[in-house]
């Protein structure tokens, strides 16, 4: 099974700050700067060109949300056309909409696991249908998800609770967190990992600081506990503008290794 | 039941650094800067002017500890005279002395829950009876507390252990932390929340870094687990001078929302 | 029983950054700057000159690894010659090789507890036998350890797993962490504490950011749970160059107090 | 003559980062936090409500560039309708287009002094006619400037040099900087001050770091040397996301005082 | 001629932040950490114990301003009793009052050169006669200065201008800065150097950020241009809490060397 | 005339910190992250692959100083064999020794202009002949420089003054800085640019903070004023570990463009 990594440096759908478009290049740098090795926690070595193919970054000639949506969907469709699995490096969370849609076009509706501080279920956020506050609303409206499990959430508004009820989203809020959801996950499983699921203490390099998140250890333990094969994943919302000495870049680099190992 | 919020920007009783007097204005800014919404973790919306009345900040014409003590006590007495509940935003922890005394003058001795890294029980600290190291010594000496439960402590000196024994303070040190103390809390309950109860990793914007504290998640879980109504609260020792990209300001803003929700 | 503290400001065996040689002076500063007191979590007061003798810092006239190795070994031998217990403040982890060897020369092979993100078991790292990636390989090769228990590890390469198997190292990886290992510890026990066993959130002042580590609370709980007397200890890899407002210096200062209390 | 200050927290036309929309609130905070007084360098006291009227901030219900353009133009027209002079606090530099157009609608074409690292003369930047890289192109195309003097520029592209030639912009590049341009300034004079005219050393809180800029002293000396009355001004591109301990906020606060004094 | 250095870690007379009391220990650290040598710009080597005697730090048992004033005055009197010259390391600028008074008690009224962003001439600031905003008002009232030359000032209020006129202070404001004042300096000359005379770009480790200051180069050039012998000096207001990687500590260390060289 | 750029990520000859080996990758990132354009101050566009050939980075299999010296010398010889001009991106200043020697082997002794805070003339520094404190001592001993002009120096020890006298180095110390030295420069001219010639305010991303340096503007003005063609250059000592939001990376990127333009 071939695994590919694609940088999607697009953050114009962010509602507060920009910065995530700088993420893919910074995450790759961690693999070469020499403060860590290329092994996962379970002892698999993950080497570019050998264990995965790095497709480099998409290049966006315009910041127009709809054009970006089309371009990302098309690039992902092409990348997975040969049956490869893809890890997409954001960019903000808005990229999950075209990425997962491309997957659904090939494989039919997916089971998705979203690790996130936010529901991203707004029907309308600032009149931008592609907002990073809405990707899962879009996917659910189009029937592209067989199920959606959200873990780590701690910012639900009344509107988002209603959206969740309407679309039967399974939400494990951070205040009620246990590992029990894992046994209920189903295939084909896609993981959408917003790095702000972590408490800001562990990942200062994000745009929205929402206290009360999980620790890096808890997040790694979730990934290690998932025994189902995963069909694809994205890693989004790392914002280098707010990072401290690449602390969050190292978190993203480690998560990248673990997600790739999970696809093998 | 009316809820009020009062900024008490006074930090001249601090023993190490200054900075907490900048806190109220910075915490309010978090509500308007747009990186988070106004909902609590349990789904209540908390809006200024609607869910609480913001009294603004006290203005101190002098840095004299005794004058400040009188001014704070008087302002709090006035604020709660109509039966309103008050959330006080410090300032350093010295403000808890006049704030709680004003409460006791109206309601009689209170049951207090103090979340803190430090006991703040010094009989004498630097010859300043109003020191932020002594507010609970003062309150206990005057018989203004029916009981005092301290949670998260991890810096007890021999003197403070003796003070605790003398005044029958119920201390749950961080090294022995469990949630069991919650079931023993009694009404009327007042919460005094020193933000350094958190490990400095979660709240770098404080004056005294004392490792081994609780996580933001644990602190939120404590607040969510308290089912008793609370009669008042203070949130103290946020120090913007040491904050990282408003990380701690966001913690304080979230705690403010949760404490207000707790008063409703 | 006399306790001594020795600063070993040597970091030329580091593979990525330098900085730990600045650590001893910075840690001592925490004891005098006044933001914390001198008590341990269990209430023992730890005062320089009274509870321990501060030997000051070794002075290195050369950065040559072998000369430094000899100088450290000799200084430690001298310090413990009278039966004193020694806490060594690094410097990088390479200092553990000569420090523990000096101990073994006096007491015979030791039982060692290594708290660390990394195994430090490389047979060869960059052709430098004294590398901070190899001290425990050296000690095991020479038969100076009766047993080695590693806790907190989360970066094992295939080579290091083979080394661990070869030398029967008992590894409790962070992903499998429980406190069960404590009951199996034996005397004479030496503790080698690499501060990067903590998650970088709790200790940003280190050279290698490896997410998924333990919290300060967990580390303190381990130390408090060890009831065996310890014969010596080192505290290494604090790197002030990357610290945030002395947050990690305060962690090191607290660990220093707890380790000294443990030796009494 | 009445002077007004208007916050225009809009930065969606920025090409690289966001953040300037946070600026007005942060600049105002400097006036109340107490580390500086309210006097200008020439000894005038500048007090809100007395020496100028603070109109507060515009509130943008949409991030749409054209709607924002209309809203800003309309608000400025209203503010200056009674003959008042206005200081606009950005936001990014894109706000200068509607602000100055509103001025020109009332007073006819202006003489403008632009202090800036960048020409902001792009005919087309990323297909956004309202881009912060293009406000002066727009103003010149519409004939709203009788003259434009740019000072501090150090990033001209070939295209921008052609634009400057086409519109007879008088550019004093930083490499050729002298104070001689001041004597040639004419009335009615408007000043558009992009804080990145300063070297990043003096103003780290900006989005585009372009070395070789002027010092804070040089910028203040320019303002002090202008003896013509000014009709209006804007202060843009302060980005709190990148600031260091409010260093740049203090620069902006001081410039605000000096610009207001200049209008009196 | 013997030269002494005395740390005066007292900052309780500060009006905004605290922190300068941490300065002396941090400045000394620069001499030993190895990123710079011990030579002045003119080639003199300055070694502790050889070129000057380090008296260590005063220890303050109380934060009472008057007691501190007495203690400092007495310690300085003792230090200079044998005809030694003294460099005092603050602490905030309030220490200049007792330090210079002690000098005047021995030598009669002095000629003083004050390098500073602020006049420090307030007759009354917050009802604290010992405020760091008032030391030169106190000295002038008592007739302890034969002349006072202030250089680098950029924050004069109306009250301070009146004070300056009353006491015939010679003020060279930063906006009018030239080196001409140097030729008019007279003996016996004392230098009081507030590090905030520098622009915050060069010295971020200070409490009050006042843009438009001099560069490190300009300040060094002033010291090098003074050919008169100096009788004593103080170096105040370095605030480590706001420093960036010891950048300002290195400025203070360099100024310390140059001032000592100037006394020889 | 072909121009090449070579990354030399080697910093093991540094005496204080490490970090410069991370520089080449970080400087290149500035060209792609989009906060600046590719034009020089005089309007030349500098594009990789068109205006210069990027040779990528040398890869060092060992940290041995002598092996690195041989490898660098050999790589540079190869790069310039076809008459190309080379810009070397360090790494610490030790790389200048093999780089310039390779040049001298092809072209004979050079005239060198060294922009630096330090003389780098130590005959012996820590017993490492390849130390970054000694490259110009080595080059002068071997007779590889026809002349050496040092500009910006502000740290001379007695030993270095003697070395300078012995080898007739023309030193323009920062305290005596004027632009007069430029007219005396001769061909073939090589420029060795240590970024710490700048004051730390302008370039916080360096290992040795030496106050009193030149501004970015002054440094750029020097480069613009040199009208002689230059035969090669190096840009060294940028240390990302200490940088602030890539401020110094942007300085290095701008200097890279200006140096390449100078070679054309």
Q: What is the pLDDT of residues C189-228, one digit of tens each?
A: 999 999 999 999 999 999 999 999 999 999 999 999 999 9
Instruction: Quote the CA–CA distance of F30 and F20 in Å, as a whole number.
Output: 16
Nearest to E88 by CA among E24, E149, E169: E24
3-state secondary structure of A74: helix
Q: Which residues contact A62 (CB under 8 A, 6 or more apart)?
A: A68, D126, D127
| D247-263 and D23-32 helices, crossing angle to 10° | 80
Sign for the pseudo-dihedral over CA of C47, C50, C51, C57: positive
Nearest to D210 by CA among D136, D162, D153, D263: D153
Q: Which residue's entry shows tokens 């500060």?
A: E14
Nearest to D134 by CA among D143, D123, D144: D123
Tell me the pLDDT of chain D (264 aa) as tens digits: 699 999 999 999 999 999 999 999 999 999 999 899 999 999 999 999 999 999 999 999 888 999 999 999 999 999 999 999 999 999 999 999 999 999 999 999 999 999 999 999 999 998 999 999 999 999 999 999 999 999 999 999 999 999 999 999 999 999 999 999 999 999 999 999 999 999 999 999 999 999 999 999 999 999 999 999 999 999 999 999 999 999 999 999 999 999 999 998
Mean pLDDT of chain E: 97
Shortest Cα distance, chain C CAs vs residue A223, angstroms: 11
Q: Which residue's entry shows tokens 């580091």?
A: C14
* Helix, strand, coil abundance in chain D, percent, nearest 5: 40, 20, 40
Interface-testing mutation among C40, C45, C215, C217, with chain B (most B C-beta atoms within 10 A): C217
Instruction: Quote the CA–CA distance of C107 and A147 in Å, as a whole number.
Output: 63
In this structure, are residues D208 and D117 in contact, taking their beta carbons and an 8 Å threshold? yes
Strands of chain E (E only): list them: 3-8, 53-57, 85-90, 110-115, 145-153, 170-173, 189-194, 230-236
- Tell if the CB–CB gap between C39 and B156 is shorter than 8 Å: yes
Is residue C74 over pLDDT 70?
Answer: yes
- Tell if the CB–CB gap between C17 and A35 is shorter than 8 Å: yes
In this structure, are residues A34 and C15 in contact, taking their beta carbons and an 8 Å threshold? yes
**Cα dihedral B56, B60, B65, B68 in deg (nearest 10):** -50
Is residue E63 over pLDDT 90?
Answer: no
Q: Which residues contact E183 (CB under 8 A, 6 or more apart)?
A: none
Nearest to F91 by CA among F192, F178, F1: F192
CA distances to E213, F63, F134 from F235, in Å: 30, 21, 17
C-D interface (Cβ pairs under 8 Å ≥ 3): no
- Chain B residue with CA closest to C205: the answer is B201
Q: Which candidate from E155, E157, E199 shows the least CB-CB separation from D216? A: E199
Give partners of C (≥3 CB pairs < 8 A).
Answer: A, B, E, F
Q: Which residue's entry shows tokens 């202006």?
A: D110
In this structure, are residues B17 and B207 in contact, taking their beta carbons and an 8 Å threshold? yes
What is the average per-residue pLDDT within C46-72? 95
In this structure, are residues F154 and F233 in contact, taking their beta carbons and an 8 Å threshold? no
E16: chain D residues, CB-CB within 8 Å: 34-35
Backbone angles phi and psi of F57, in degrees to 5: -105, 145
Concatenating the DSSP letter of every residue in E24-78 gives HHHHHHHHHSSSS-SB-TTS-B--BTTTBEEEEE---S---HHHHHHHHHHHHHH
Q: What is the pLDDT of residues A113-160, one digit of tens each?
A: 999 999 999 999 989 999 999 999 999 999 999 999 999 999 999 999
- Tell if the CB–CB gap between C211 and A201 is shorter than 8 Å: no
Q: Could you say which DSSP state residue D187 is in?
A: S
For residue E34, what pLDDT is reported? 86
Shortest Cα distance, chain B CAs vs residue E92, angstroms: 13
Instruction: Quote the CA–CA distance of A102 and A100 in Å, as a whole number.
Output: 5
- Chain E residue with CA closest to B242: the answer is E241
Shortest Cα distance, chain A CAs vs residue B90, angstroms: 20
**Domain containing residue B82: CATH number:** 3.40.800.10
* Range F59-68 burial, b when 16+ CB lie within 10 A, else e: ebeebbbeeb
Alpha carbon B255 to chain centroid, angstroms: 10
- Tell if the CB–CB gap between B242 and E242 is shorter than 8 Å: no
Which of A176-180, B124-128, E119-123 comes out lowest in average pLDDT? B124-128
Shortest Cα distance, chain B CAs vs residue E19, angstroms: 6
- Tell if the CB–CB gap between F22 and A32 is shorter than 8 Å: no
Is residue B137 over pLDDT 90?
Answer: yes
Looking at chain F, the whole-number percentage of residues with pLDDT higher than 90 is 97
- Tell if the CB–CB gap between A62 and D127 is shorter than 8 Å: yes
Shortest Cα distance, chain D CAs vs residue E204, angstroms: 8
E-A interface (Cβ pairs under 8 Å ≥ 3): no
What is the average per-residue pLDDT within A79-95? 98
Tokens for A35, please give them: 């403060």
Which of C32-36, F28-32, F38-42, F95-99 comes out lowest in average pLDDT? C32-36
Shortest Cα distance, chain C CAs vs residue B221, angstroms: 17
Q: Which domain holds residue B229?
A: 3-263
What is the average per-residue pLDDT within E87-91? 97
- Tell if the CB–CB gap between E17 and B18 is shorter than 8 Å: yes
B-F interface (Cβ pairs under 8 Å ≥ 3): no
Shortest Cα distance, chain C CAs vs residue F11, angstroms: 10
Q: Which residues contact F158 (CB under 8 A, 6 or more apart)?
A: E39, E43, E45
In this structure, are residues F12 and F65 in contact, taking their beta carbons and an 8 Å threshold? yes
For residue C1, what pLDDT is reported? 65
How many contacts (CB atoms, under 8 Å) link B and E? 25
D164: left (phi over 0), alpha (psi -120 to 50) or beta: alpha
How many contacts (CB atoms, under 8 Å) link A and B? 70
In this structure, are residues D72 and D91 in contact, taking their beta carbons and an 8 Å threshold? no
In this structure, are residues F191 and F255 in contact, taking their beta carbons and an 8 Å threshold? no
Interface-testing mutation among A10, A18, A29, with chain F (most F C-beta atoms within 10 A): A29
F36: chain A residues, CB-CB within 8 Å: none
- Tell if the CB–CB gap between C16 and F18 is shorter than 8 Å: yes
- Tell if the CB–CB gap between D158 and F36 is shorter than 8 Å: no
Q: What is the pLDDT of residues D225-263, one digit of tens each?
A: 999 999 999 999 999 999 999 999 999 999 999 999 999
Tokens for D223, please give them: 């303002």
Give residue ranges of F with CB < 8 Å to any C CB: 14, 16-19, 62-64, 126-128, 241-242
For residue C91, what pLDDT is reported? 96
Strands B53-57 and B3-8, bridge-based pairing: parallel
Give residue ranges of C with CB < 8 Å to any B CB: 34-37, 39, 41-43, 45, 199, 201-202, 215-217, 220-221, 224, 244-247, 250-251, 254
Instruction: Quote the CA–CA distance of B58 and B25 in Å, as a whole number.
Output: 12
Please, which residues bridge with residue D6 across strands?
D88
D41: chain E residues, CB-CB within 8 Å: 154, 173-175, 212
Please, which residues bridge with residue B8 across strands?
B90
- Chain E residue with CA closest to D40: the answer is E155
C22: chain F residues, CB-CB within 8 Å: none
3-state secondary structure of D246: coil
Shortest Cα distance, chain C CAs vs residue B122, angstroms: 13
E36: chain F residues, CB-CB within 8 Å: 155, 208-210
Backbone angles phi and psi of F230, in degrees to 5: -115, 150
- Chain F residue with CA closest to A19: the answer is F33
A14: chain D residues, CB-CB within 8 Å: 18
Is residue F123 over pLDDT 70?
Answer: yes
C22: chain E residues, CB-CB within 8 Å: 33
Is residue B1 over pLDDT 80?
Answer: no
Q: Which residues contact A67 (CB under 8 A, 6 or more apart)?
A: none
Q: Which candidate from B35, B42, B216 shows the least CB-CB separation from A208? A: B35
Concatenating the DSSP letter of every residue in E67-96 gives HHHHHHHHHHHHHHTTS-EEEEEESSGGGH
What is the average per-residue pLDDT within A156-168? 98
pLDDT grade for F246, boundaries at 50, 70 and 90: very high
Shortest Cα distance, chain C CAs vs residue B14, angstroms: 10
For residue C62, what pLDDT is reported? 85
pLDDT grade for E61, boundaries at 50, 70 and 90: confident
Is residue A1 over pLDDT 80?
Answer: no
What's the number of domains chain C is made of?
1
Nearest to F36 by CA among F258, F263, F188: F258
Q: Which residues contact D39 (CB under 8 A, 6 or more apart)?
A: D45, D46, D257, E155, E156, E157, E158
3-state secondary structure of F25: helix
E-D interface (Cβ pairs under 8 Å ≥ 3): yes
Interface-testing mutation among D11, D24, D29, D57, with chain B (most B C-beta atoms within 10 A): D29
Q: Which residue's entry shows tokens 């309950």?
A: B189
CA distances to A25, A95, F23 from F242, in Å: 20, 33, 11
Instruction: Quote the CA–CA distance of D94 and F235 in Å, as a whole number.
Output: 36
């Amino acid at each position: 099974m071939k695994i590919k990594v694609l940088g999607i440096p697009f953050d114009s759908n962010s509602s507060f700050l920009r910065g995530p478009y700088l993420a893919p290049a910074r995450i790759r740098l961690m693999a070469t700067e020499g403060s860590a090795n290329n092994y996962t926690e379970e002892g698999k070595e993950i080497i570019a060109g050998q264990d995965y193919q790095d497709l480099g970054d998409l290049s966006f000639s315009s910041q127009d949300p709809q054009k970006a949506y089309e371009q990302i969907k098309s690039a992902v469709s092409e990348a997975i056309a040969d049956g490869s699995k893809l890890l997409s490096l954001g960019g903000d969370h808005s990229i999950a909409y075209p990425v997962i849609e491309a997957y659904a076009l090939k494989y039919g509706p997916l089971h998705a696991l979203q690790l996130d501080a936010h529901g991203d279920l707004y029907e309308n956020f600032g009149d931008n249908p592609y907002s990073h506050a809405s990707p899962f609303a879009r996917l659910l409206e189009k029937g592209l998800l067989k199920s959606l499990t959200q873990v780590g959430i701690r910012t639900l508004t009344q509107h988002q609770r209603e959206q969740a009820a309407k679309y039967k989203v399974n939400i494990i809020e951070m205040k009620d967190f246990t590992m029990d959801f894992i046994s209920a996950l189903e295939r084909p499983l896609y993981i959408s990992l917003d790095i702000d699921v972590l408490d800001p203490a562990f990942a200062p390099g994000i745009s929205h600081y929402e206290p009360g998140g999980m620790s890096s250890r808890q997040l790694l333990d979730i990934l290690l506990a998932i025994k189902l094969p995963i069909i694809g994943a994205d890693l989004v919302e790392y914002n280098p503008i707010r990072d401290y000495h690449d602390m969050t870049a190292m978190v993203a680099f480690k998560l990248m290794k673990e997600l790739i190992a999970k696809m093998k």
